[in-house]
Amino acid sequence: MTDFDRDAANAKRRKLLQAGLGAAAIGAVPGATQIVRAQGGFDWKKFKGEKIEIFLVKSPRGDLLTKYHKEFEDLTGITVGSEMIPEQQQRQKAVIEFNSGSPSFDVIALSYHVQKRQFAKNNWLTDLRPMIGDKSLAAPDLDFGDFAQGGLNYAVESDGRVMSLPFNLDPWVVYYNKEIFDAKGVAFPKTFAEMIDAAAKLNDTSKGISGFVGRGLKNANVPVWSSFLLGYGGGFVDAKGRLTTDTPEAIEAGKMYQTLLGKYGPQGVAGFNWNEAQSLFLQGKAAMWLDGIGFAQPLEDPNKSRIVGKVGYGVMPAGPKRQVSALFGDGEGISTYSKKKGPAWFYLQWASNKANQTRMLQAAAGAPVRNSAYAAAQSSADFKAPKQWVECMLASAKIAQPGLPVIVPVTEFRDTFGVALTNMINGADPAGELKKATAEFQPVLDKSEKA
Amino acid sequence: MPPGSNNPVALGRNSAAVAAPRPPSAFFARRRRNYRRFIIPAVVVVGAVIVFPWMFTVWMSAFDWKIGSVAHFVGFDNYVGLATNQRFLESIGHTFYFTLLAVVLPLVLGTIAALIFHREFPMRGVLRAVFTMPMMATPVAVALVWTMMFHPQQGVLNYLLSLVGLPPSLWVYSPTLVIPSLVMVEIWHWTPLVMLIVLGGLAALPIEPYESARLDGATEWQLFRYITLPLIAPFLVVAAVIRTIDAVKAFDTIYVISQGGPGTASETINLYLYLQAFAFYNVGNASAVVVVFFAIILALALLLLHVRQRTRWVAM
Amino acid sequence: MERPGASRQSTRARARRIARRTGFWFSVAVIVSPAILVFLWMLSLSLKNEIDNLAYPPVFIPDPPTLKNYVQVFTENAMGLYFWNSVVVSGCATLIALAVGVPAGYGIARLQAHRFTVLILIARMTPALSYLIPLFTVFQFLGLNNTLTALVITHLVITVPIVVYVMAGYFETLPKELEEAALIDGGSAWTLFRYVALPLARPGIVVGTILAFIFSWNNFVFGAVLAGRATRTLPAAVYNVLTFEQLAWGPLAAAAIVVTLPVLLLTVVIQKEIVAGLTAGGVKA
């Protein structure tokens, strides 16, 4: 895992640069390299009879946790009330609730790529360090050292606070339809140029096959563009806080986005979110689909997919400057206003424990953050995810970098640039749109950093 | 009352009311005081739930406040910002475009429907009940169904197009077609309301003018154009006012089906307001949008009411 | 008049009549069919299983029809709870509106205080979202967030104007002779209202109640922003069923029908009264 660690550490350093701070503070996490052993005093049933509220996002991960909530209840005697709502609404509600000073939940699932900075800046989550260090509250298999560096990068703030436990990583990959590729004798692309070429060759409107499908819906579509941006060697924000989203690299990425989705994408792609893209791919109507690796599960489900057994899992092709897989991640944190921090901490430990991580891998619901999950899953008889999926995931994790800037107004960033990208699909000039969006967003970014 | 006359009809009094002997004025005054008591509870509720938010909004619009940070007083800056904000100005354009279509088309179709339902025919009651159902259906639920119908690959609308040999359309996924597609949903939803209002007007029409015109040999079209239309004009204006106000404020349908997209092609003022207030939490800016928005609605309503004044026929 | 070729005339006249009749029925069909077809399509979607829903060309008659979608909607999404929430919120908001609005309508009609009606009109013209921000801030301050109480108060914004509007228009049409006769007999304003005007106004009250209830039930924005998990109303809950299930059209259509069916039933049952109420109120505007 050393390559992974190194690159992830690089990513961390870059993030810190952007945040304007100096040394990484990973070493400040207590017990990071030790295994916390249970000493007399830890008891899963310690908070028996309590009730906690969990606020989840409707996603494969949320589904997974909800499915096994009963196991947690039986283990600890803590009753769990939970709610899963769609991503955008969950993020909006989180802000409203935290702002009210008395949110209705104790534990919240957060998307690091959108909410991490916002939550940290507003101190909405509890610092977990005291609880991690408290042996009587730490589960015997907490094994903090088992967490992959990428996950820790997300969970730990630049000043050393541990605001959440990481839950999963979601590097972006290219799903491809092997049957369509083989029919025309095209090999899976290794570079951006080959990718565009393949899309052109495999695009067949007479048969209703699109060479490429991805998110076109504003806000959701930004990761597609950032996948290209990172490959061209570009970034989002420089060390001085100026946006670098109108640089030549960004414009090239915009042109690639325009070509792949506008020219070789399906009709109506401007309104596609991940689920529409997934549906199209499931029916065998697209040659390639760029999205997070955690959406793989239905692809191999005969009840839902027409392409079972024909799905290829490809690592993101290399751009002219770098080969990068855009990385996103989720975790769970405890609300700072919660009055049930103890039971909530138990939930966090259970949610990110080895069993659940293994289940996530088996269900292809996401990339686990625990290193041990991979070995455990592969040796298990229940293992359903195809071998190529696991290989793809490991390879992608090695070249993963954050796919969104670590700033407070991420939603606004995604909205502003998302609009520009959707306009590009409909023919607008990438350079003009990106310059306009950059000019529009820079003041927002400046204001957010000052406040 | 001849149409267009400026005879100021006493407000509220039924023209068929028999004049009663007037009691002395002191009696009147006491009665007025008593009636005021009836209104007070409503005034309290309206004050708390409607007037207070209004004052709060106007006050907030002078601040720059994002939820989660401190509010700074900025005076008119928000308004100045809006006047130069391209996205906001475009949303005004989208709103007008949407409203124009969503008012004129239901007016025309609703009038036609009213003319049809004015006649006696078997099963009229049942069919009219069916026709009014869209108006009452929950907008969110209906919008979800329309979203499925608009789907470019799996939707039933493109299937119907293919049946008549037309190529599939992008509907709400095309920046140029999105507003007309949304208007289509609005038409489906609200034409019944227009029909009902105009029907009420048709029901009150006198018969004599028609009889004498027919004797003179007028055609159906002439009957409609010169007798019916002027007489139902007030009702058309009422329908136009109600439709304009509702169309300018339309939210549920647009939000569910296109979220203001693709890009910002169908982002009306109301959608922009939602974005500012509940996605970006720019409460100060959002309040300024509300004030501007309301000014626009008010201007439109006053314009239409002015038109109405000049065609008033029924005692207000 | 008898003319040569009269029989040819009358055949032509009859043909014209038939053509006009067919044209008429054709127009009726064209006008009414969009309304009914969308609802039928909604029903069809909800009764189809997943394979049929993904099929293209679309399947119109489900084969075989299944109630699985409805079961899924109720078990996976606590629709029963949301249904109840909607009933409580809309019911309470309507009752309060009646208690406050019927007398107010009477007072306005008798006082001819049209300035108050203008206020109501302004309330109608204001976008719903603009009430949300201030009300939300206040509720936060009072600790009422995520409660049904907050929702009921917010829904008053919808119900009170409707009731006042309809009742004011209605009371104005009531002939004044009865009241004036009772006045001379020595009644106070209250007895006039309670014993003379109110019984006569029952049809108007029915209309006002139903319209207020329907529009409150249909409201989406307030529930979506202000409600919490346990207090969400039906339209807001339905919206959450969308997004993030790949083409789960069956359960979505089933949820949509569950949300809108009560309102549609109400409409059909009291259709005539609604028509009267809308037109009376509308014309008087």
| A292 plus A338 within the same structural domain | no
Nearest residue of A to residue B171 by CA position? A268
pLDDT in tens, A26-38: 333 443 333 334 4
Say whether B197 and C104 touch across the interface (CB within 8 A). Answer: no
pLDDT in tens, A286-301: 999 999 988 887 888 7
- Residues of chain B contacting A269 with CB distance shorter than 8 Å: 173
More confident residue, A194 or B214: A194
Q: Residue A383 corresponds to which amino acid? A: F
Range of weakest confidence among A46-50, A144-148, C159-163: A144-148
| A335 plus A317 within the same structural domain | no
| A318 plus A367 within the same structural domain | no
pLDDT of residue B189: 92
Among the partner-chain residues B261, B262, B281, the one whose CB lies closest to the CB of A95 is B281
Residue of B277, B276, B278, B272 lying closest to B260 (CA atoms):
B272
pLDDT of residue B28: 59
Say whether B68 and A99 touch across the interface (CB within 8 A). Answer: yes
Say whether C146 and A104 touch across the interface (CB within 8 A). Answer: yes
pLDDT of residue B316: 35
- Burial class from Cβ neighbours inside 10 Å (0-12, 13-18, 19+) for residue B268 reads buried
Q: Does A279 touch chain C (CB under 8 A)?
A: yes
pLDDT in tens, A401-425: 888 988 888 888 999 999 999 999 9
Say whether C246 and A278 touch across the interface (CB within 8 A). Answer: yes
Average pLDDT over residues A220-233: 93
Optimal mutation site among A52, A88, A89, interface C, most CBs of chain C within 10 A = A89
Q: Can you tell me the distance from the alpha carbon of B75 to that of C139, in angstroms, rounded to the nearest whole number?
A: 26
Average pLDDT over residues A174-201: 93
Pairing status of strand A79-85 against strand A51-57 = parallel
More confident residue, A315 or B301: A315
* Residue at A394 is within a domain: no
More confident residue, B212 or B19: B212
Nearest residue of A to residue C230 by CA position? A83
pLDDT of residue A252: 93
Entry pTM: 0.80
Is the confidence at residue A44, as pLDDT, over 90? no
| A45 plus A71 within the same structural domain | yes
More confident residue, B45 or A379: B45
| A216 plus A124 within the same structural domain | no
Q: Can you tell me the distance from the alpha carbon of A232 to that of A250, in angstroms, rounded to the nearest whole number?
A: 8
pLDDT under 70 in chain C at which residues? 1-7, 51-55, 77, 114, 187, 241-247, 272-285
| A261 plus A344 within the same structural domain | no
Among the partner-chain residues B153, B301, B314, the one whose CB lies closest to the CB of C125 is B301
Residue A318 CB neighbours (<10 A)? 18
Q: Can you tell me the distance from the alpha carbon of A132 to that of A35, in angstroms, rounded to the nearest whole number?
A: 11
CA A328 to chain centre: 3
Q: Residue B304 corresponds to which amino acid? A: L
Instruction: State the residue range of the domain holding A116.
Output: 3-170+327-389
Token pair for A343: 């039971």
Among the partner-chain residues C100, C271, C282, the one whose CB lies closest to the CB of B42 is C100
Range of weakest confidence among A189-203, B150-164, C111-125, C256-270: C111-125
Per-residue pLDDT band for A442 (boundaries 50, 70, 90) equals: very high
| A131 plus A185 within the same structural domain | no
Q: Is the CB of residue B250 less than 8 Å from the CB of residue B186?
A: yes
Annotate chain B with DSSP letters as a single string.
Answer: --TT----PPTT--TTPPPPPPPPHHHHHHHHHHHHHHHHHHHHHHIIIIIHHHHHHHHHTTEE-BTTS--EE-TTHHHHHHHH-HHHHHHHHHHHHHHHHHHHHHHHHHHHHHHHHHS--TTHHHHHHHHHHHHHS-HHHHHHHHHHHT-TTT-HHHHHHHHTTPPP--GGGSTTTHHHHHHHHHHHHHHHHHHHHHHHHHHT--SHHHHHHHHTT--HHHHIIIIIHHHHHHHHHHHHHHHHHHHHH--HHHHHHTTT-STTTT--HHHHHHIIIIIS-BHHHHHHHHHHHHHHHHHHHHHHHHHHHHT--S--
pLDDT of residue C225: 79
* Residue appearing with tokens 């009430």: C131
Dihedral sign for Cα B64, B68, B69, B71, please. Answer: positive
Q: Is the CB of residue A369 less than 8 Å from the CB of residue A149?
A: no
Is the confidence at residue A15, as pLDDT, over 70? no
3-state SS, residue A83: strand
pLDDT of residue B241: 83
Q: What ipTM was estimated for this complex?
A: 0.80
Nearest residue of C to residue A81 by CA position? C229
Give the CA diameter of chain A. 70
Describe the crossing of helices B139-149 and C6-47 by its angle, rounded to 10 degrees. 100
Q: Is the CB of residue C103 less than 8 Å from the CB of residue C194?
A: no
Q: Is the CB of residue A122 less than 8 Å from the CB of residue B68?
A: yes
Q: Does B67 touch chain A (CB under 8 A)?
A: yes
* Residue at A395 is within a domain: no
Number of domains in chain A: 2
Say whether B173 and A268 touch across the interface (CB within 8 A). Answer: yes
Count of alpha carbons within 13 angstroms of residue C255, beta-carbon side: 29
Q: Which of A145-149, A324-328, C103-107, C184-188 has the highest mean pLDDT?
A: A324-328
pLDDT of residue C284: 40
- Residues of chain C contacting B294 with CB distance shorter than 8 Å: 125-127, 130
Residue B105 CB neighbours (<10 A)? 19
Q: Can you tell me the distance from the alpha carbon of A450 to that of B287, in angstroms, rounded to the nearest whole number?
A: 23
More confident residue, C125 or A175: A175
| A180 plus A264 within the same structural domain | yes
pLDDT of residue C111: 76
Is the confidence at residue A7, as pLDDT, over 60? no
CATH number of B75-315: 1.10.3720.10
Annotated domain spans of chain B: 26-60, 75-315
Q: Is the CB of residue B195 less than 8 Å from the CB of residue B135?
A: no
Token pair for B154: 């799996």
Give the helix ranges, DSSP H, for B6-85.
25-46, 52-60, 77-84
| A255 plus A385 within the same structural domain | no
Q: Which of A257-261, B54-58, B217-221 has the highest mean pLDDT?
A: A257-261
* Residue at A377 is within a domain: yes
Token pair for C135: 């009300």
Is the confidence at residue B174, as pLDDT, over 60? yes
Q: Find the helix or strand (DSSP H, E) in which B211 lies.
A: helix B208-215
| A58 plus A91 within the same structural domain | yes
Pairing status of strand A288-292 against strand A165-177 = antiparallel
pLDDT of residue A138: 83
- Residues of chain A contacting B172 with CB distance shorter than 8 Å: 271
pLDDT of residue A418: 93
Phi then psi for A108, rounded to 5 degrees? -130, 140
pLDDT of residue A380: 61
The CATH number that applies at residue A363 is 3.40.190.10
Q: Residue A231 corresponds to which amino acid? A: G
pLDDT of residue A108: 94
Q: Is the CB of residue A173 less than 8 Å from the CB of residue A325?
A: yes
Q: Can you tell me the distance from the alpha carbon of C239 to that of B140, in angstroms, rounded to the nearest whole number?
A: 7
pLDDT of residue C180: 73
Optimal mutation site among B153, B154, B177, B285, interface A, most CBs of chain A within 10 A = B153
pLDDT of residue C246: 47
